[in-house]
Amino acid sequence: MRAVRVWRAGGVPLSMLDDLSSNLAALLRVTCRVESPRLETDYAFDLARWQYHSTAILQRLVRQPSRGESLLAVTSGDLFVPVLTYVFGEAQVGGAAAVVSIHRLREEFYGLPSNAGLLRQRLLKEAMHELGHVWGLRHCDDWRCVMATTHSAELIDVKEAGFCRECAWVLDGSEGAPLHRHG
């Protein structure tokens, strides 16, 4: 059985992480718990870009003892990789760790009123997407699948919080338990 440990890495409310953990546990049929110590990310801040280098956060995260669990850091900092302006998250494909950011998932980033429910939905989908990568999945061509690639918050909104049949089949085959799927 898969297990996930969620790390707070920045100004993310613990209540949001508790909610994320509960939803991940239910949808992915995994054991999921929130770690109490905060994962520091100051070392990953790039002064030239005013963003956090997500790969550097991943490198620090994998140094945490995992006991075979998947590690997920959630931050409020704006993430980037050198070849892209920003990323919603990054994961080690087939590895142990992933990081997601709520920074560009917030409606306020786009000059719109705060929407806590929408933020929680977007965070859940991005966390599932990055954990899918950790568990070996690549991007999916089905736009409804949580593994579809997204470059805007609006595209996250049209995805479902579930795997398409093909992606779920790949994950089911490696673990045996059926996962939440759509379609």
Which sequence positions are flagged as catalytic? 130
Give dist(CA 160, CA 110) in Å, integer.
Answer: 22
Give dist(CA 55, CA 53) in Å, integer.
Answer: 6
CB 148 within 8 A of CB 113: no
Q: Order of strands, edge to edge, in the sheet holding 45-46?
A: 45-46, 51-53, 79-80
- Cβ–Cβ contacts within 10 Å for residue 108, how many? 11
Give dist(CA 4, CA 26) in Å, integer.
Answer: 12
**Residue corresponding to tokens 């931050």:** 75
90 bridge partner residues: 99
Closest CA to 101 of 9, 4, 6, 2: 9
